[in-house]
Chains A and B, each alone.
Chain A
Amino acid sequence: MADFDQELDASGLNCPLPILRAKKTLNAMSSEQVLHVIATDPGSVRDFDAFAKQTGNELVESREEGGKFHFLIKKS
C-alpha cells in the first residue's frame, strides 16, 4: 500500500458514518495529503467512489483485504 498521512479506522461503523468521519478527518488535513480509511461496511465501496467523484478528492486506491475495505483518498 502506498504512503499515507493519516489513518481512520471506521471498522464496525455503518452507513453513513464512515463517510462522515472521513469527511471530518479530511477537513483537518491539507491539500495533497492522503487519508487511509479502513471500513467493514460493504456499502462503503460504492460510497467512497461516489464521495470522491462528488467532492473532487481523489480515490487513489480501493481494495479489499482480509474482509476489510481499504481506501486511500488524496485531498484536493
Chain B
Amino acid sequence: MDDKKLAIIATKGSLDWAYPPFILASTAAALGYETQIFFTFYGLQLLKKDLSLEVTPLGNPGMPMPMGMDKWFPVLGMTLPGMQGLMTSMMKKKMKDKGVASIEELRALCQEAEVKMIACQMTVDLFDMERSQFIDGVEYAGAAAFFEFAGDSDICLYI
C-alpha cells in the first residue's frame, strides 16, 4: 500500500504560528505519512539555523494575557519597546512549564522523520536571504514543484 501524503504550506513566521506546521508534520510522519512542507514568505523564518521567533499580542485580541495584562496594558501599551520580547519570553517559559516542545525540537524531529522541507526560491530572493542562513537538507523550488507533490496528496493544508 502506498503511504498517505500530507502537503503543508507554511506562510507565517511568528513563534505561535510556527507550531501547527511542525506539530502536524512530525505527527503525520509518525503515522506513516510521506510529508512535505513548502515554506514561503514569512514562513521562511522557520527554516533559519538560528531561530529568533517572537510572539505579539498586537492585532490578536484572542491571545490570553497572563496576570490580566490586557487590563493594565491596553493595545497602545503593547507597542512600547521591549513588550514583544517580554511577551515572547513569557510564552516560552509557559510552554516549557507545560511540557510543550520547543520549535527547535519539533523541527529536528521532522528532519529525523524525513519530512521534506522546501523553501520558496522566489521569496528567498525577494527578502535577500542566503541559503547559508538555512538548515541543511532544505530544497529550493517554486509553485510548480509544490503542486507535483500536493496534487497527489491526501491532505493539503495552508497555514
Interface residues of A (CB under 8 A from B): 12-17, 19-20, 23, 40-41, 51, 54-55
Residues of A within 8 A of B23 (CB): 15-16
Residues of A within 8 A of B32 (CB): 54-55
Residue from the list A14, A19, A55 in contact with B100, Cβ < 8 A: A14
Within B86-101, which residues are at the interface with A (CB < 8 Å)? 98-101
Residues of B within 8 A of A54 (CB): 31-32
A19–B99 CB distance below 8 A: no
**A13 to B100 CA separation, bound complex (whole angstroms):** 6
Grouping DSSP codes into helix (H, G, I), strand (E, B) and loop, the B interface class, with mixed when no group exceeds half, is: loop
**A19 to B106 CA separation, bound complex (whole angstroms):** 12
A53's closest neighbor in chain B, by CB? B31
Residues of A within 8 A of B27 (CB): 16, 19-20
**A71 to B98 CA separation, bound complex (whole angstroms):** 21
Residue from the list B31, B98, B99 in contact with A51, Cβ < 8 A: B31
B27's closest neighbor in chain A, by CB? A16
Nearest CB in chain A: distance from B26 CB, A: 6
CB 8 Å contact bits of B21-60 with A (1 = contact, 0 = none) = 0010011001110000000000000000000000000000
